Structure 1
Amino acid sequence: MNETPNSPRRKPPFPPGEAGLEESRLRQQAIGVKLRHMFDEVVNEPVPDEFLAILRRADQDAPDGGDE
């Protein structure tokens, strides 16, 4: 397919102007909501006992006794 200088080209994925900006903002907002939801799930998970034991040993082995 040969394109001439005057042949129509594909339209951009978003229309120029306010409609495209609004759609972009909505997509960014939706991504932010999903990320916050995923982060909240991780933050609320309990810390594994094995990890807590490692932290306790590290505090005991610290030169100052682990008190800050």
Structure 2
Amino acid sequence: MIDNPDSSRRKPTPLGGEAGLEEARLRQQAIGVKLRHLFDEVVNEPVPDEFLAILRSADDKANGDKGGE
């Protein structure tokens, strides 16, 4: 059997206990912080020129179709 030193630090908490709820809240908060950071990085990335060209082309076609009605 392999002993894991980290496993001895954790004390089991009863389900629904205050310590268990607080631990779950802290985990959710940490996940939320990391997700917000990741989202902010993605939002701040520049849009590739090729994608902008596709969007412009789609806009031009849509505007051209509307003018023919």
TM-score, normalised via structure 2 length? 0.71
For residue 38 of structure 1, report the CA deviation from its aligned partner. 0.3
**Looking at CA atoms only, which structure, 1 or 2, has the larger radius of gyration?**
1
For residue 60 of structure 1, report the CA deviation from its aligned partner. 0.6
Number of aligned pairs?
A: 53
Alignment of 1:40-51 (within 5 A): 40-51=40-51
Larger RCO: Structure 1 or Structure 2 (Cα < 8 Å, ≥ 6 residues apart)? 1
For residue 14 of structure 1, report the CA deviation from its aligned partner. 4.8
4+ residue segments displaced more than 4 Å: none
For residue 64 of structure 1, report the CA deviation from its aligned partner. 2.2
Alignment of 1:1-68 (within 5 A): 14-16=12-14, 17-62=17-62, 63-64=65-66
**Structure 1, unaligned stretches of length 5 or more?**
1-12
Q: What amino acid is the match of 1:54?
A: I
**Structure 2, unaligned stretches of length 5 or more?**
1-10
Q: 1:7-64: CA deviations, max 9, x gaps? A: xxxxxx8512100000000000000000000000000000000000000000111122
